Structure 1
């Protein structure tokens, strides 16, 4: 809000602005933005998560994975169809996030399905059947748009 006054003799004038209202509005926008970052990032991560679950190859029958245990002894693990798909997760990364930044990881649980890396990247005996990298390539632009739209909506509601 502006106000002005002049000297009676007309030799000078003064004008001032009260910006407290604008400062409060900007503070509200900043707070709404900060509070909306994580939900917006999660909305985008959700798109990538679902795309990875759609793209993961799934065997028709149970299969074995051969590995070694902590004693370097050979072990045979039985996995049911859909084990890899069911092991895909999305999680908020506190270590990679901060003020005005939220990061989510989408991957598979390596403890539940230790063969996931071999599916994604292949081995010397088996070709790769990637699903995480193609999911990202196919949907990253859409996921970013979803996140942006979510952020704009939530900040707009707060304003």
Structure 2
């Protein structure tokens, strides 16, 4: 999911200069993260991770969802839709392997 979201992240060809400093082309793409979600995870049972962006690339939310003055340019949802079956299969494989390990001792 992370790689797919990075691949789909919009890249502006100009240099945006905000309060934090200059953001060169590809800044959002280069600041995509995988973050552990403590609230949705259950220790010893389920680990949940999020694909998101760093604080410096806060404007990713405006691109994903749009604003009152700008149409949305979604990239996270399409990345999820493109890879969800593959991710589910990987999760199933990991679960099956862990079950085999427990059964076989």
TM over 0.5: yes
**2:45 aligns to what?**
100
Classify 1:79/1:50 alpha carbon distance in 2 versus 1 (closer, same or farther; 3 Å). Answer: same
Using the alignment, how far apart are the partners of 1:94 and 1:121 within structure 2?
24
**2:65 aligns to what?**
121
Q: What secondary structure sits across from 1:51 in the alignment?
A: helix
- Superposed CA RMSD: 2.0
Higher RCO (CA 8 Å, separation ≥ 6 residues)? 1
CA-CA distance at 1:154 after TM superposition? 4.1
- Counting matched residue pairs gives 102
Which deviations, in whole Å up to 9, do the C-alpha atoms of 1:50-105 show, x marking residues without a partner?
1111111112232234xxxxxxxxx4842111110122111222222114222111
In structure 1, list runs of 5 or more residues that go unmatched: 1-47, 66-74
In structure 2, list runs of 5 or more residues that go unmatched: none
Find the structure with the greater CA-based Rg: 1
